[in-house]
Chains A and B, each alone.
Chain A
């Protein structure tokens, strides 16, 4: 178990509701419960993956962790300081936690050169690197992500998707953060380029001692990079634990279904593994089912699942699952 000083990020009771209104002038008020009660922690040097289907709240959680949006409830501490305490604290935290987004085509300003893109964070956090050293820092950043220094005067459109994602990573690294939150950083890239970027994340982690919150729908990628996995369903973490533990011994029915749906290349493995086909659809986060949110698609659900909300309970060292039927299967 990690001692409190090893915890770099801690989110407690995180809630994010987006208000909605039914159609019509006097429509009833409601809320999309994108994140609905999440506790999580990230240890120093760790890679924590968030997985789940679209709409499960993993990207919302990423924007809460980086304070791009304030939570509706709960709090996030980064290295002992709380997000949203005051502007000065926020500024200090922002240097420690940065985000890499999915689409490197829309994440870069097309009218700025690479040098301008990489210098902008240094100008905003002006006490970090003296202005006369900005140019040297750009060289360093480009080298760090495997780009050539001669690229600095070019514009984003002159680069391939993989190179653009490298630029986005370099920009995130400009303020020397300790944590990168990566929201589907490979999804927009070509298959043969994904491997290179994954390798870059591995390399940076070793060289800079970075910690990652890695969001991905690709369960194969997650297994290859994450130390720990948190599985989300409808705004909550339903299971979390060490990666191999989750992949080898998933306990929550949803995790089992999710893992069994991932395509497998090896025919021998494919023929022997558990096959679960989920019926029905993910319910709307504006109107989640009572009790266990997964019960409407769960083949094991009982009457109790409709009335009692399951909480995460330890099943093995560091492995927790939120299911009322843990003892039964």
Chain B
């Protein structure tokens, strides 16, 4: 049985802005006016370099922002319920309806508790299962995330197992209560490619089983491997969004285009064109387009006016004042 396309998406972020208070200085805008939609069974990749605001976005959704950070605008809706307006809804949803997988599995786990017990704790605390029942469920879950010999592994401490295994344990904990939304923040960055591959395959299985996935990465290759949709961020703002295949095959925004042209690709040997310059200082961002100082197409207008995200064709949008010229050039 197939469900009709539901009216309310699983996760809907609208106009989210997050700022960090700074001592004796103006607050730093970490995320500005971000909108994002994630549906069940789909993977949305937030692609960006460090300082682009992608991890802050993830923490804002989970309600895990640091003390000096606050959301200044926007809404985050999970199944229509506004999590920012209702802290109780946020608390209830966290862990049960949505869960997060962090980059560093070693610091995400308790170093002095056996990994099996850490997974079992999810069932004991949230579902009140007995010790034996929780343990059985934990081992089932470990088998589900493809950990070999789970009965033995369950008795290991985090430092005794490899990075790839640990990340699987963290994923097992995240999916323990069958959340509908998974948020993964660079979950494979610390891992070898051979191990990364297995973890990406595991995430794919989870989305195919119906989970919504927001996957944060700086790696275009990883994004291409897993994304259904891509949101490209730069210096706290969304530059471009659209279906993954289209964004990667026909990028519209000059930043996306420059990024794709600069990164070496395994399937396309040869020299690439580096992007000149560096990321803007978060405390001193340009008034106009954030990418203008590095953009080959920038005009005086671009340095004066901050472009808004504008829809180009169904499902695709880009924030660029010169988008018509860019598209014109692309058409040729």
Contact = CB atoms under 8 A, between A and B. Distances in A.
Interface in A206-238: 217-221, 223-224
Nearest to A257: B194
Contacts, number: 125
Interface in B118-154: 148
Contacts of A281: 162, 164-165
B84 interface: no
Interface stretch (B16-24, B173-181, B271-279): B271-279
A163 B49 CA distance: 16
B271 A224 contact: yes
Contacts of B162: 281-282
Given A223-B266, A266-B267, A269-B267, A193 B224 contact: no
Contacts of B299: none
B41 interface: no
B265 A261 contact: no
B220 A247 contact: no
Contacts of B248: 265, 267
A160 interface: yes
B245 interface: yes
A54 B249 CA distance: 32
Interface residues of A, number: 43
Interface stretch (B5-13, B66-74, B85-93, B254-262): B254-262
Contact of A278 (B50, B194, B269, B272): B194
B130 to A, nearest CB: 33
Given A223-B266, A281-B164, A190 B222 contact: no
A223 B264 CA distance: 8
Contacts of A139: none
A262 B267 CA distance: 10
A192 B49 contact: yes
B159 to A, nearest CB: 14
A220 B197 contact: no
A258 to B, nearest CB: 6
A157 B164 CA distance: 33
Interface residues of B, number: 44
B204 to A, nearest CB: 12
A199 interface: yes
Contacts of A73: none
Contacts of B4: none
A53 interface: yes
Given A192-B279, A195-B274, A265 B220 contact: yes
Contacts of A198: 264, 272, 274
A89 interface: no
B278 A193 contact: yes
Given A192-B49, A192-B279, A258-B194, A264 B267 contact: yes
A244 interface: yes
Nearest to A192: B275
A263 interface: yes
Contact of A264 (B201, B224, B260, B273): B224
B219 A263 contact: yes
Interface string A271-308: 00000011111100000000000000000000000000
A197 to B, nearest CB: 8
Contacts of A278: 194
B218 interface: yes
A124 B218 CA distance: 40
A264 B266 contact: yes
A196 interface: yes
B267 A221 contact: no
Nearest to A248: B269
Nearest to B48: A191
A162 interface: yes
Q: Which 9 residue pairs across A and B have the least CB separation, nearest first?
A: A263-B221, A195-B274, A195-B262, A224-B264, A261-B197, A220-B266, A53-B192, A220-B264, A269-B267
Interface of A: 53-54, 160, 162-163, 190-196, 198-199, 202, 217-221, 223-224, 243-244, 247, 257-259, 261-267, 269-270, 277-282
16 contacts: A163-B278, A190-B49, A191-B49, A192-B49, A192-B275, A195-B274, A217-B193, A219-B266, A224-B270, A243-B269, A263-B222, A263-B225, A264-B224, A264-B267, A267-B224, A270-B225
